[in-house]
Amino acid sequence: MTVREVAVEAYREGLPALATSVLGGLLAGVVLGGMRSEFRLVPGLLVLVPALLATRGNVYGSLGARISTALHQGLVEPRIRGDDRLWRAIVAAIANGLVASLFAAAVAFLVLSWLGRPAAPLSVLLSVALLAGLLSGIALSLTVVVVVFAGYRRGHNPDTLVGPIVTTAGDVFGIAFLLLAVRVVLLAGGG
Amino acid sequence: MATDWTVRAITRAMMPVLLVLTLVEIGSGLVLGTFEADLLASPSLLVLVPVTIGTAGNLGSVLAARLSTAMHLGTLSFEPEDDVLQGNAVATLALALTVFPVIGAGAWALATVTVGSRLALSTVVVVAFVSGEVLAVLAVVVTAVATYTAYRFELDPDDVVIPVVTNACDVLGVVVLFLVVQILV
């Protein structure tokens, strides 16, 4: 293929998914703007936001890319049942996501304390990270598998779907479940 | 080169990168925390934050996934004149030209509807456009370098490149957006 053909194909395949992710990103921005009272109640939460959102993108983006490449190579079939390898990949993704979320909460707490900037108690930040990570992990694993398989079966290139879908769903689920997790933790803690 | 599909193998391939990237993202969060007051003062800019850095990361991750599969299939050579590499780079810049003006207008409109906007529509569109083009160029460079590095060190680009690219774009997104705002607003 010539440069022009490659570019035209990549552009055409990329635009629809990118447009979807723009909508998701704008939605996440609006929700973020509406979380100002939570940010005041839990100092350090805003510092945690990029790390938590990025963890979603990293872990489930990698899961999607792994499944996508395996489909291209014929190593997995686009079916959910009967393949232990697929389930092991999902369990690994969720476990890795939880470890990274807890690590982010602990590091954010330590750095903020060291800098003398306000930070909520470590237990609050860890609880929020754990709850948000678990809920968004389940939702994102399902989304990634369903979208990649459905796209592949309909003849789309899963490579072009994975990135935007994961970041869109990661932003929207990430922020929505973060909001839910903060509210649950504040309620449980009598906040 | 591909990782075995066991929990242990996937974790071993992913966890070190993941923890390092988490540290980088905490750095990005600290930058964001420093400008929290400014962002809250201009709601359109606050709405712009996730979508700008997310779109930059997406441009990079689509490119990375395409290069990764081309590498697995053996159709990619890492020459600057490689057709796959050049074509995908051109497409990335064209995609940024298309979506970032829409992002600026969208952020302004949503902020105006929900919490009220302090800045003019044209200001927000120009901020989004300039940030987007700078970020698209950076995304191409970061992706090409990261994929080539994974190739040289015989790492599976599926495990390494997309996380590196997305996180680099997150951090660059916060920094570029901040610099563009300082210059233009």
**CATH number for the domain that contains residue A60:** 1.10.357.20
DSSP state letters, B87-114: HHHHHHHHHHHHHHHHHHHHHHHHHHHH
**Contacts of residue A82, Cβ cutoff 8 Å, sequence gap at least 6:** none
User: Position of tokens 């709405």?
Assistant: B47
Give the B window 118-157 contacts with A, CB below 8 Å: none
Q: How many residues does chain A have?
A: 191
* C-beta of residue B18 within 8 angstroms of C-beta of residue A59: yes
pLDDT at A86: 87
Give the A window 66-95 contacts with B, CB below 8 Å: 66, 68-69, 72-73, 75, 85-86, 88-89, 91-93, 95
Residue B132 three-state SS: helix
pLDDT score of B137 more than 90: yes
Domain-embedded: residue A176: yes
pTM of the model: 0.78
Are B11 and A92 a contacting pair at CB < 8 A? yes
DSSP state letters, A64-76: HHHHHHHHHHTSS
- Which residue of A22, A54, A160 is in closest CB contact with B102? A22
- Which residue of A8, A25, A88 is in closest CB contact with B6? A88
Q: Of A43-47, A125-129, A135-139, B152-156, which gets the smallest average pLDDT?
A: B152-156
**How far is Cα B70 from Cα B90, in angstroms, rounded to an integer?**
17
Are A92 and B10 a contacting pair at CB < 8 A? yes
Taken in order of first residue, the domains within chain B and their CATH numbers are: 16-184 (1.10.357.20)
What type of residue sits at position B15?
Answer: M
State the sign of the Cα–Cα–Cα–Cα dihedral A98, B144, B66, A23.
positive
Chain B within 8 Å of A37 (Cβ-Cβ)? no
Q: What is the ipTM of this complex?
A: 0.83
Domain-embedded: residue A90: yes
pLDDT at B185: 75
pLDDT at B1: 41
User: Position of tokens 């030209």?
Assistant: B97
Q: Convert the pLDDT of each residue in B82-93 to its tens digit.
A: 788 888 899 999
How many separate domains does chain A show?
1
Domain-embedded: residue A1: no
Domain-embedded: residue A104: yes
Give the A window 128-147 contacts with B, CB below 8 Å: none
Q: How many CB atoms lie within 10 A of CB A121?
A: 12
Q: Containing domain of residue A165, as a range? A: 44-188
- Mean pLDDT along residues B59-79: 79
Q: Convert the pLDDT of each residue in B13-46 to its tens digit.
A: 888 888 998 998 898 898 888 877 777 777 788 7
pLDDT at B76: 74
Q: How open is the CA angle B132-B134-B140, to the nearest 5 degrees?
A: 95
B25-B28-B34-B38 Cα dihedral, nearest 10 degrees: -120
Take residue A132 and report the two structure tokens written for it: 């948000």
* C-beta of residue B125 within 8 angstroms of C-beta of residue B21: no
* C-beta of residue A29 within 8 angstroms of C-beta of residue B49: yes
**How far is Cα B112 from Cα B11, in angstroms, rounded to an integer?**
44
* C-beta of residue B166 within 8 angstroms of C-beta of residue B25: no
Cβ neighbourhood burial of A12 (10 Å; 0-12, 13-18, 19+): exposed
